[in-house]
Amino acid sequence: MFIGIVCYLLSLTYAEQKLPVALNTWAFLEANQVAWTILHEPGKSSLDALVEGVATCEDQQCDGTVGYGGSPDEHGETTLDSMIMDGSNMNMGAVAGLRHIKQAIRTARFVLEHTDHSLLVGDAASNFAEMMGLRRESLTTPASRAMWLEWRHHNCQPNFWVNVAPDPKKRCGPYKPQSKRLTTNSNIKRLECEINQRNHDTIGMIVINQRGQIYAGTSTNGATHKIAGRVGDSPIPGAGAYANNEVGAAVATGDGDIMMRFLPSLLAVEALRSGETPENAATYSMKRIAHYYADFSGAIVVVDRWGNHSAACIGMKKFPYSVGQGKNKSVIKFRDCIVT
């Protein structure tokens, strides 16, 4: 009995050394620093830290793939997807295809805290955000418009259309369905669309406070030149992010159209529940996707409830993620990617 009590107390001390913790995908260090700082402020919650950290990336247009003015769709418009998940009760708030509202993560928080719903989409989500006090404004910038015009000038190449006429590999739309299959390998088609860090990125963030309360969240402007109305993995629970106070959390980034078919964040968290380490859970999740899509590009960050963390990636050489932990300020860590 005495030995058991000692081991339990030692485990608590070990956990305290690693908590609180803030982690996020990619080398978005300033976003991590904001979250880590708020975690140490009296009266602030892990939800506050998550929202302000992600909002920092939205404001700074991290890599041009988060926030306004990036990843224009085929009509030249930027739309936003975002999600927050509460690991204590599995509640979530999310928005998808958000138009004319810059604060996607704040809108997701409003959905979480002021509705019984989980996901709002499109113009209706924008109307909701306005009711909550957010300002409607254009998400288009001179840079995003120039990107779209350049794409149009090059016959809308690359794009995400298949089996339509006119041939989407040669001309812009509008398109109509084509009964004859024109595209025989959708994986090759995805490679032509250059699914990579620069055009298909997301900030996924996990925050755990000293008491073990976990929040996970995401924000993205999606895939560049996407078909209007497309929604990726970021606002989908279990795909872009998943959190459970009993075991830990995970956030993913990469080719969302592929990832949402596998729910990699849920896979990783359930692997933790089965006793796997964060490293093994992350690797298992990515290998599940690579088994079916050998040329897939993506990554995942996984943390257990004690603050032990790792990441895994496929389709890149190295994957950076940002960590602020315990009393240590934010740093960037790198993981070598899995070779398939």
Residues 61-82 pLDDT 10s? 999 999 999 999 999 999 999 9
Quick one: 184 exposed, middle or buried, by C-beta within 10 A (0-12, 13-18, 19+)? exposed
Per-domain residue ranges of the chain: 2-139+195-336, 142-192
Is residue 253 a known part of a binding site? yes
Instruction: Looking at the chain, list the stretches that DSSP marks H as alpha helix, in order from N- to C-terminal side.
Output: 2-18, 29-39, 46-60, 104-114, 122-131, 142-153, 186-192, 256-259, 264-273, 278-290
Strands 119-121 and 92-98, by their bridges, are parallel
pLDDT, tens digit (0-9, with 9 covering 90-100), for 191-226: 545 545 555 579 999 999 999 999 999 999 999 999
Would the annotation count 87 as a binding residue? no
Per-residue pLDDT tens digits for 176-194: 999 766 554 555 555 545 5
Tell me the catalytic residues: 202
How far apart (Å, rounded) are the C-alpha atoms in residues 145 and 61?
15
User: According to the annotation, is 283 in a ligand binding site?
Assistant: no
pLDDT tens digits along 247-274: 999 999 999 999 999 999 999 999 999 9
Query: Is 232 flagged in the annotation as binding?
Result: yes
Digits of tens for pLDDT over the chain (340 positions)? 555 544 444 454 545 689 999 999 999 999 999 999 999 999 999 999 999 999 999 999 999 999 999 999 999 999 999 999 999 999 999 999 999 999 999 999 999 999 999 999 999 999 999 999 999 999 999 999 999 999 999 999 999 999 999 999 999 999 999 976 655 455 555 554 554 555 557 999 999 999 999 999 999 999 999 999 999 999 999 999 999 999 999 999 999 999 999 999 999 999 999 999 999 999 999 999 999 999 999 999 999 999 999 999 999 999 999 999 988 889 999 999 998 7
Task: Tell me: is residue 152 an annotated ligand-binding position.
Answer: no
Contact, 45 vs 209, CB < 8 A?
yes
CATH architecture designation of domain 2-139+195-336: 4-Layer Sandwich (3.60)
212 is in an annotated binding site: no
